[in-house]
Amino acid sequence: MISKDIKLHQTLYIKGDLVPCSRPRVTRTGRVFYPAKYSNFKRYACIQLHSQYKGEPIEGALEVEVLVLSTRPKSKIKKKTEDVRIPRFKARGDLDNQLKTVLDALQESGVIKNDSQIYKIDISSWYCKKGEIPQTEIKILESSNVIWRI
């Protein structure tokens, strides 16, 4: 059992479809780089997060809740299910790669000091329902007095 005091620090949003972190590429000369699509999205996400969060980087133990809403592919659009969210699974870009993009953007934009501060993560990935805008919602919960009791 964990004894703790939790307060919602801030809710942040990244508009648009999230680009999952891809594997770094290596040139023949040994230079390592990430593909342009990922690098450009991370830069875009950092700008959005930085504009929403003003202040010093958050320090201390954190919990993070992430909700990823992605554009539904045309193959998944059916009359019966267009008005509800459906889980995003068996899709390119695993959940852990989506999470890495979010955590990297939080750290590089100066919202959190280091992603090693996070001790609990709750993430879910869904396809948007009709009329919903693709975005990523990030709730940062600040914890104090975190004590593990058996």
* pTM for the structure as a whole: 0.83
Compute the distance between CA of residue 102 and CA of residue 106 in angstroms, rounded to an integer: 6
pLDDT at 145 over 80: no
Alpha-carbon 53 to chain mean position:
15
In a domain, 133, yes or no: yes
Q: What percent of the chain has pLDDT over 90?
A: 56
In a domain, 47, yes or no: yes
In a domain, 27, yes or no: no
In a domain, 121, yes or no: yes
In a domain, 80, yes or no: yes
pLDDT at 146 over 70: no
3-state percent helix, strand, coil for the chain, nearest multiple of 5: 25, 35, 40
Per DSSP, the chain holds a count of helices (H) and strands (E) of 2, 7
Q: Give 102-139 pLDDT, tens digit per residue.
A: 999 999 999 999 999 998 999 999 888 888 899 999 99
In a domain, 28, yes or no: no
Range of the domain at 48: 2-22+33-53+61-148
Residues near 122 by Cβ (< 8 Å), separated by ≥ 6?
63, 64, 65, 66
Q: Give 8-23 pLDDT, tens digit per residue.
A: 888 999 999 999 988 8
Q: What percent of the chain has pLDDT over 70?
A: 81
Compute the distance between CA of residue 102 and CA of residue 93 in angstroms, rounded to an integer: 13
Total of domains in the chain:
1
Q: What is the DSSP string of 68-107?
A: EEEPPPGGG--TTTTTS-EE--SSSS-HHHHHHHHHHHHH
Compute the distance between CA of residue 31 and CA of residue 14 in angstroms, rounded to an integer: 30
Higher pLDDT, 59 or 80: 59
In a domain, 41, yes or no: yes
Nearest partner of 102 among 16, 14, 7, judged by Cα: 14
CATH number of the structural domain spanning residue 106? 3.30.1330.70
